[in-house]
Amino acid sequence: MDKGIADGFAFVIQNHGPKSISREPGSSLGYNGIPHGVVAIEFDNWKNTPYNDPVYDHVSIQIPDTNGFLSCEHSTNSLGLFKSNFKNGNINNCKIVYNRKDSEISIFLTINNDNDLPLIEKIENCKIPFDFPLCGYMGFTGSCGDLFQTTTIYTCSIKAKVDTLEGIQMDLDSLEI
């Protein structure tokens, strides 16, 4: 991601359709309100009071509301988050691991700061209160409002142990964020 101002992007899993995206600009990060949602991992670098965003840039695990719509709301729909420095103009690397057996998600984000050793930011073993569906759509969404920035996804690879259904591992490599 470049050092532009707002708003961020998300890695989204949903069961609505291959072209499903939020129609709200800016704060929705392109996913807020998508029906039949499963989970969104948001990389959010703009504080939006209506969604109770924390005051700092963050990575958060967001689940749908009670009607199944993916939600940016943090007070009711965030399972966990961590403060992040991903908006640095460098290529950073992220790994997201979902373990079906324990219904847990972990996120490992390697931040490549100039002139510094890589910084590892993470949240581990965050409990998901439902089983992931056995099929769905994965993709990236993003949005801007009046302020702009550029996010580039260089590579994304997914590894899944679909034979046992005990674990699904997703590796998202080399995200320029």
In the complex, the residues that contact Ca ion under the rule CB under 5 A are: 27, 44, 46, 48, 53
> What is the rounded distance in angstroms from the CA atom of residue 25 to the CA atom of residue 28?
6
Cβ proximity of 70 and 51 under 8 Å? no
- For the bound state, the minimum distance from the C-beta of residue 84 to Ca ion, rounded and expressed in Å, comes to 13
Query: What's the full length of the chain, in residues?
Result: 177
> What is the rounded distance in angstroms from the CA atom of residue 156 to the CA atom of residue 149?
20
SS3 assignment for 23-39: CCCHHHCCCCCCCCEEE
Cβ proximity of 65 and 141 under 8 Å? no
Shorter beta-carbon distance to Ca ion: residue 9 or 69: 9
Shorter beta-carbon distance to Ca ion: residue 53 or 121: 53
Shorter beta-carbon distance to Ca ion: residue 47 or 169: 47
Cβ proximity of 140 and 11 under 8 Å? yes
- For the bound state, the minimum distance from the C-beta of residue 110 to Ca ion, rounded and expressed in Å, comes to 23
Shorter beta-carbon distance to Ca ion: residue 23 or 159: 23
Which residues are CB-neighbours of 154 under 8 A, at least 6 positions away? 91, 173, 174, 175, 176
> What is the rounded distance in angstroms from the CA atom of residue 157 to the CA atom of residue 169?
10
- For the bound state, the minimum distance from the C-beta of residue 116 to Ca ion, rounded and expressed in Å, comes to 26
- For the bound state, the minimum distance from the C-beta of residue 51 to Ca ion, rounded and expressed in Å, comes to 6
Shorter beta-carbon distance to Ca ion: residue 24 or 104: 24
- For the bound state, the minimum distance from the C-beta of residue 7 to Ca ion, rounded and expressed in Å, comes to 6
